[in-house]
Amino acid sequence: MKVFLYDTTLRDGSQREGISYSLDDKLKIARRLDEFGIDYIEGGWPGSNPKDVEFFNHAPNLGLKHAKIAAFGSTRRKGTPPEKDTNIKALLDANTPVCTVFGKSWDLHVVDVLETTMEENLAMIGDSVAYLKAKGKEVIYDAEHFFDGYKANPEYALATVKTAAIRGADCVVLCDTNGGTLPWEVEEIVTVVAASLGSTPIGIHTHDDNGCGVANTLTAVKAGAIHIQGTINGYGERVANANLCTVIPGLQLKMERNCVSSEQLATLTDLSVYVAEIANLAHDDHAPYVGASAFAHKGGVHVAAMLRNPLSYQHIEPTAVGNQQRSVVSELSGRGNLVDKAEQFGLDTQRLDLRQVLDRIKQLEAQGFTFEGAEASVELMLRRTHPDYVAPFELVDFMVMVQRRRGRGLIAEATVKVKVGEDILHTAAEGNGPVNALDAALRKSLINIYPQLRDVSLVDYKVRILDGEHATGATTRVLIDSHCGTRAWSTVGASPNIIEASWRALADSMEYAIVSS
């Protein structure tokens, strides 16, 4: 059975704290949603702000191949006919094929928020739906606060959605606006509504305030809903909206409900990361299905089992959603973690001393290192146990000074002495800080011998204090992220001396750049 996907990332998603889409952002996301196979894209509320008006002006030029653009707005105001209502006029002016109009289902809102009568609220719903249908629009009616309204006054809540259905709504969407309903309540109520509305399709719109947004959406589909609303990555007001990146594979892979093609589903992880980048938010590594850690295995027993049968510790095949299985190397690792990692690196495990590396990793992690996010350092440790491995350079010594000089302010200078083959190279360089100076001096020593270092950039430098109770004597962990063209890698160092910790991470980064190029 087909389940229709209605994405409201551009409206509900923009209500999350910390998100402010530009017009260009919204247009880019809309194109990507269309490519993925979303059926409806809610562009915004044209009566609320100029940016949404501009989006609807540009929407006809998007060249969408599948999705329909929907404009969102409220029912007519009390005492105002729809043809004279500014909200209804804004919906029509958006010139979209679909209009989504919301109305009140909870008698508390009718009396205390709208300050009108129950009868007038029903008329507001019915008149708005019928007027938009008469204008040739596909009309989706969002029954706001439906579940709270039903629990307070089931007869009236049902009357509101029946009114919308009778007056021509193409779909009636039940909204858990406050996000407090539980799955068994959703199943019971959706079942009642489905029986009451007959042939009118039912949709579901949930929020995640009690952590049940996804579960409530899947439960509603089980009870008869065929239209689901949500956002990419769950972006939304307060806690979150139902996360389509979790809902869609749940429907398609677990419930066998047709949403998108298998080829489109395999781009889900890319879509999730793309929207996070546009929203300027860190992608959630621990998100179900699409997170970088969703199919990452750390425990040695788990990895050993996975090497025998990948399904032993995974609920789906990761590639189905565009993700990948990986093992994580840490103090919890077993030999299987290193076997898996070495094979990923293309190394011959028969010529590596995996036990030596495993023991070394456990020792270093006890000293403050962490290798989960520093796979380049792990690869180097494996390579160094190969009998034919020759390090491209060897540290002899280094010195770093930070001084305040008249007329120049604070400057840092580093002197580095390294051995390459039989030659000792001794260079010095200045930088805006001690690590920058070390970086400059090491490059200066090596760049004529290893010209590939010219294209290596240090893009991130993270410092974490591990035992703050020791104050300035605390052990410091340093993670360095580097890239060269399309390649990126991370290395780690740890020491009570931040310069030494930085040097270890920096030296690993340079060595990795040389041996992996």
pTM score, whole prediction: 0.73
Q: What is the pLDDT of residue 3?
A: 95
* Confidence class for position 479, pLDDT limits 50, 70, 90: confident
Q: What is the pLDDT of residue 357?
A: 67
Q: Looking at the predicted structure, is the pLDDT value of residue 330 above 50?
A: no
- Say if CB 294 and CB 320 are below 8 A apart: no
Mean pLDDT of 373-380: 77
- Say if CB 142 and CB 129 are below 8 A apart: no
Q: What is the pLDDT of residue 72?
A: 95
- Say if CB 477 and CB 370 are below 8 A apart: yes
Q: How far is residue 315 from each of residues 222, 253, 289, 399, measured CA to CA in Å?
A: 20, 10, 10, 52
Whole-angstrom distance, CA of residue 70 vs CA of residue 140: 9
Q: Which of 368, 390, 516 is nearest to 452 (CA)?
A: 516
Of 80-84, 184-188, 198-202, 379-383, the range with the lowest mean pLDDT is 379-383
Q: What is the pLDDT of residue 473?
A: 59
Q: What is the pLDDT of residue 331?
A: 45
Q: Looking at the predicted structure, is the pLDDT value of residue 508 above 80?
A: yes
Biggest distance spanned by C-alpha atoms of the chain: 93
- What does the pLDDT look like over 399-435, one tens digit per residue? 888 887 777 778 888 999 999 988 899 999 988 888 8
Domains of the chain in start order, with CATH, are 4-260 (3.20.20.70), 296-384 (no CATH), 394-515 (3.30.160.270)
Q: Looking at the predicted structure, is the pLDDT value of residue 308 above 70?
A: no
- Say if CB 223 and CB 191 are below 8 A apart: yes
Whole-angstrom distance, CA of residue 399 vs CA of residue 413: 8
Mean pLDDT of 227-232: 97
Q: Which of 277, 296, 447, 436 is nearest to 375 (CA)?
A: 296
Whole-number mean pLDDT of the chain?
87
Under DSSP, is residue 120 helix (H, G, I), strand (E, B) or coil? helix
Q: What is the pLDDT of residue 157?
A: 95
Tokens coding 361:
């990793």
Instruction: Give alpha helix (H) positions in 229-372.
Output: 244-249, 262-265, 268-279, 300-308, 335-345, 354-366
- What does the pLDDT look like over 111-158, one tens digit per residue? 888 888 989 999 999 999 999 999 999 999 999 999 999 999 999 999
